[in-house]
């Protein structure tokens, strides 16, 4: 019993290390555009992201964690050798954590989902052969990786084109913004409310209060929408009182961008929550499988539930990594692809949140970094006056491409060494 407890403790530290590196790399994407557009300072971004990443991981991180723990490798093949699966999951944590640390040191926003899925496939191939990997599941996840930046880029470009048409390119953009504030508020809160709130209020925590989930989620969304609308209107009146005497279009656009910065901050919060809900599984799914094996002596197959303490551990690790080493990747995403304004950053973030939250509801471990970079590039392609720094984009894409085979090789090597030492 004490030996199992020690093994679990050491593995938990290793999972915290992975979550730390995930926070330093992947979480930075949720706030990169806000820092790049100057809507938030770096310190503000770290605080806001910390709170919301942790909340998303604990409240909404169950689905993807269960998918990664039970559906990438065929657990039935390890039914008679659960210790082999345990060693494999340790190799996964080592490979993913090491690769994320390397990428972060170069400021490259790699996909943690690529890293974990590649590591799981690598060890299982060595452990039980080619057929031990659920290639159809990896195929569906890989397809999601391929279309994620395309979908996010298309949503961001479409949304930004409408903001340009109906607000920024109008003769009086301030007046147009005042008309659009309720609609922007409704769009922003609807993305969050329709996709996330019903699931949150269906959790055991909220059910213990016997709340009417559907009505309550609608009420929360309505209150938040009205609050944001009133705050935005008040802010707009303050801007207009300072700028009415000026006829310069440039000054009006600056005032509009300043106001849209409020929306960008809210959208950044949604991206952070979305990231926590989806990507925490990349750090804790192997630990959850290990804990299950140590507790039951069997491998997890069906009805797998990730314990709350593991979700909390993953959320805490993500927050710590972001605070310590998140600056490098924030700079790459926010400043080294295109020059962002609050309007374009807002569109990139709302596109990212929509894409990632839908994937979370479906239990698909997609890449937040791909969604956000896709959104930023989509805006850059639409706005021809923006010069995309394709050298940065190429480096990022190359890191995405080599992540899966690199972690598969690292995991296979690590598993081989662990098996020779402990099995």
- Cβ–Cβ < 8 Å for 249, 346: no
Instruction: Answer whether residue 227 is part of any domain.
Output: no
Q: Would you say residue 248 has pLDDT above 70?
A: no
C-alpha span between 376 and 369 (Å, rounded) = 11
- How high does pLDDT run on average in the chain? 78
Name the CA dihedral angle for 374, 379, 380, 384, rounded to a multiple of 10 degrees: 150
Instruction: Answer whether residue 245 is part of any domain.
Output: no
| Averaged pLDDT, 133-151 | 78
Instruction: Answer whether residue 279 is part of any domain.
Output: yes
CA neighbor of 384 nearest in space, from 142, 111, 161 = 161
DSSP string across 146-200: HHHHHHHHHHHHHHHHHHIIIIITSSSHHHHHHHHHHHHHHHHHHHHHHHTHHHH
State residue 226's pLDDT score. 54
Instruction: Answer whether residue 308 is part of any domain.
Output: yes
76-80, 163-167, 274-278, range with the lowest pLDDT:
274-278
Instruction: Answer whether residue 243 is part of any domain.
Output: no
Instruction: Answer whether residue 351 is part of any domain.
Output: yes
Question: What does the pLDDT look like over 306-327, one tens digit per residue?
Answer: 888 888 898 888 888 888 877 7
Q: How many domains does the chain have?
A: 1
Question: What does the pLDDT look like over 81-99, one tens digit per residue?
Answer: 888 888 998 999 999 999 9
More confident residue, 387 or 261: 261
Burial class from Cβ neighbours inside 10 Å (0-12, 13-18, 19+) for residue 146 reads exposed
Query: pTM value?
Result: 0.77
Q: Would you say residue 266 has pLDDT above 60?
A: yes
The owner of tokens 């040191």 is 105
Question: What does the pLDDT look like over 96-113, one tens digit per residue?
Answer: 999 999 988 888 888 777
80-84, 188-192, 316-320, 390-394, range with the lowest pLDDT:
188-192
The owner of tokens 């790049």 is 36
Residue ranges in 297-341 assigned as alpha helix (H) = 308-325, 327-335
Which domain range does residue 352 map to? 2-146+268-422
C-alpha span between 194 and 186 (Å, rounded) = 11
State residue 113's pLDDT score. 77
Instruction: Answer whether residue 388 is part of any domain.
Output: yes
Instruction: Answer whether residue 349 is part of any domain.
Output: yes
| Averaged pLDDT, 249-268 | 81
Question: What does the pLDDT look like over 211-226, one tens digit per residue?
Answer: 444 344 444 445 555 5
The owner of tokens 């662990």 is 418
């Amino acid at each position: 019993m004490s030996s199992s407890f020690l093994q679990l403790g050491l593995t938990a530290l290793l999972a915290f290390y992975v979550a730390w590196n995930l926070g330093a790399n992947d979480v930075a994407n949720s706030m990169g555009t806000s820092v790049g557009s100057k809507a938030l300072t770096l310190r503000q971004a770290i605080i806001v992201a910390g709170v919301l990443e942790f909340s998303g991981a604990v409240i909404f991180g169950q689905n993807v964690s269960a998918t990664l723990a039970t559906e990438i490798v065929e657990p039935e093949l390890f039914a008679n050798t659960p210790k082999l699966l345990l060693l494999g999951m340790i190799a996964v944590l080592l490979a993913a954590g090491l690769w994320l640390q390397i990428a972060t040191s170069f400021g490259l926003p790699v996909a943690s989902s690529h890293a974990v899925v590649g590591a799981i496939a690598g060890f299982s191939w060595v452990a039980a052969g080619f057929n031990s990997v659920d290639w159809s599941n990896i195929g569906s996840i890989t397809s999601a990786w391929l279309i994620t930046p395309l979908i996010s880029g298309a949503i961001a470009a479409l949304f930004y084109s409408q903001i340009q048409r109906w607000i920024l390119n109008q003769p009086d953009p301030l007046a147009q913004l005042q008309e659009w504030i309720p609609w922007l508020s409704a769009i922003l809160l609807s993305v969050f409310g329709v996709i996330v709130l019903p699931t949150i209020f269906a959790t055991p925590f909220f059910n213990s209060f016997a709340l009417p989930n559907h009505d309550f989620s609608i009420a929360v969304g309505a209150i938040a929408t009205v609050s944001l609308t009133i705050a935005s209107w008040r802010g707009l009146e303050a801007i207009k009182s300072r700028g009415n005497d000026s006829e310069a279009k440039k000054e009006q656009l600056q005032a509009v961008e300043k106001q849209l910065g409020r929306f960008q901050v809210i959208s950044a919060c949604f991206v952070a929550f979305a990231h926590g809900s989806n990507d925490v599984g990349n750090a804790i799914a192997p630990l959850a499988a290990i804990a299950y094996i140590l507790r039951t002596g069997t491998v997890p197959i069906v009805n797998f539930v990730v314990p709350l303490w593991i979700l909390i551990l993953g959320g805490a690790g993500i927050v710590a990594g972001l605070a310590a080493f998140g600056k490098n990747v924030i700079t790459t995403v926010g400043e080294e692809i295109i020059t962002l304004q609050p309007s374009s950053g807002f569109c990139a973030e709302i596109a990212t949140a929509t894409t990632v939250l839908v994937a979370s509801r479906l239990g698909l471990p997609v890449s937040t970094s791909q969604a956000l970079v896709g959104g930023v590039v989509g805006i850059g392609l639409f706005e021809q006056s923006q010069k995309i720094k394709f050298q940065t984009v190429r480096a990022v894409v190359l890191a995405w491409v080599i992540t899966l085979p690199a972690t598969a090789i690292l995991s296979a090597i690590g598993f081989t060494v662990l098996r020779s030492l402990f099995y």
